[in-house]
Amino acid sequence: MPELPEVETTVRGLATVLAGERLTRVMVRRPDLRRPFPPDLVQALTGARVVALGRRAKYGLIQTDRGRTMVFHLGMSGRWRIDPGEIGKHDHLVLETARGRVLALNDARRFGSVDLVDTAALDAFGPFAALGPEPLGPGLTVAHLAQAFDGRVAAVKLVLLDQGVVAGLGNIYVCEALHRARIHPERAAGAVSRAALSRLVLEIRAVLEEAIEAGGSTLRDYARPDGELGYFAKEWRVYGREGKPCGCGGTVRRIVQGGRSTFFCPRCQK
């Protein structure tokens, strides 16, 4: 599933084509993805000007001058295609701009979603209402994590995946950040020291920023809107590297936590 860096990369790619542009044609080519398309999507977007693009957690935001924002989630395999040579059977939503640019939301598995929300009410939108701070924003601090972790006996890896603690963190980047911060993924969250929390905040930001710069980590069908593949997977230090050497001289292990694979080095992560 595309994670935060992949969504951020997607939004930045869309901004190069959509920012400030008027949408002259909107085509919904099937009734639903994971859930039905908004019934007024075509009417609300046709003729609207895109005034801003953004991201909240793993959702992309396309804001218009009509006070409505299209919120999209890429699901398992969704991606936007810019100026495709032809519209394919998995291009379920197509936008055309006044400059003749075409953007197609492609989702073969149809686990993605599209919603239309009043811009002024975005914070109250169901999936956003209980989200924690953005990991790249000012709200992610040592004090915030200390308060969120206080008294928690659950494993720190699982607590970090709680979207109410930090918005948008996914499995790959939690594994990588914990490794860089030298924190064992099974350690009780409440037992993580302030010094380790300081390292963790820095490494969460660093790994996400590096992944965004690299265009994300290509997983199965993910690609950037321009069709290029992200290459941050080449920089993974532990994720997907079970049995391979860690930079410290240890060997990467894999365990299962909460039904998900966790990769870590038992030598340098304590």
Is 86 annotated as catalytic? no
Is 260 annotated as catalytic? yes
Residue-level pLDDT at 235:
79
In this structure, which amino acid lies at residue 224? R
Residue-level pLDDT at 233:
66
Catalytic residue among 25, 66, 187, 260: 260
Residue-level pLDDT at 2:
78
Residue-level pLDDT at 3:
85
Is 58 annotated as catalytic? yes
Concatenated DSSP letters of the chain:
---HHHHHHHHHHHHHHHTTPBEEEEEE-SSBSSSBPPTTHHHHHTTPBEEEEEEETTEEEEEETTSEEEEEE-TTT-EEEES-SS--TTEEEEEEETTS-EEEEE-SS---EEEEEEGGGGGGSHHHHT----TTSTT--HHHHHHHHTT--SBHHHHHT-TTTSTT--HHHHHHHHHHTT--TTSBGGG--HHHHHHHHHHHHHHHHHHHHTT-B--TT---TTSPPPBGGGG-SSTT-TTSBPTTS-B-EEEEETTEEEEE-TTT--
List the beta bridge partners of residue 95: 26, 103
Catalytic residue among 21, 38, 56, 58: 58
Instruction: Report the 10 Å Cβ neighbour count for 236.
Output: 20
Residue-level pLDDT at 37:
98
Please name which of 270, 234, 235 lies closest in space to residue 250, comparing C-alpha atoms. 270
Distances from the Cα of 230 to the Cαs of 31, 53, 218, 234, in angstroms?
30, 21, 5, 9
Is 254 annotated as catalytic? no
Predicted TM-score (pTM) of this structure: 0.90
Q: Quick one: how far is CA 219 from the chain centroid? A: 13
Q: What is the Cα–Cα distance from 187 to 82, expressed in whole angstroms? A: 44
Tokens linked to 144? 């915030």
Q: What is the mean pLDDT of each run of 10 residues along the chain (270 residues)?
A: 86 94 98 97 98 97 98 92 95 98 95 98 96 97 98 98 96 96 98 98 96 65 50 79 97 97 98
Residue-level pLDDT at 176:
97
